[in-house]
Amino acid sequence: MSADLCHAAVDANALIHAARCSGDGSFVLLAHVSSGCSAFFIDHPIDHVPGLVFTSMMRQGALVISHLYLGVPRSWSFLLERIEMRFLQFAPSSASLALRVDLRACRLRRQFMRVELEADVLANDRCVARGQMEFRAYTPDGARRVRRAIAEK
């Protein structure tokens, strides 16, 4: 996956590398933390995958699913409303990482799409974290209206 598709500043920070849809609102995304990954994700020597990586995998996974499978154009803006992550166990740094995502709701309005999802983070096929996320994707006009409304408050 390109950094652009994941909304990452550079390719090394694009955590999602492959995506597949099962056709029933479920997705599996493969992830990898590259050795050139930003210190933003890994800021000290450790022997496990940091929790921030799991949270970022879920955020990037939602963006990839939105663009590839929900038809959200790259010109739209995303507004994260809620993200929660429960960490269940450590994942070794060498683990193969994947994200299993289930869409819980997806509503398209005139100027935005609202999405709710649940995700399991897998390390070597074992669930190491569970999360939930809600966000909106806005058309360029919708995004301008939201920014204007926030500025007026």
Query: Which tokens belong to 108?
Result: 């398209």
- Residue 85 phi, psi (nearest 5): -140, 130
Give, for all 153 residues of the chain, the pLDDT tens digit: 788 888 888 888 889 999 999 888 899 999 987 665 656 666 666 778 888 889 999 999 999 999 999 999 999 999 999 999 999 999 888 889 999 999 999 998 888 999 999 999 999 999 999 999 999 999 999 999 999 998 998
From the number of C-beta atoms within 10 Å of its C-beta (0-12, 13-18, 19+), residue 107 rates as: exposed
Query: Which tokens belong to 16?
Result: 């999602």
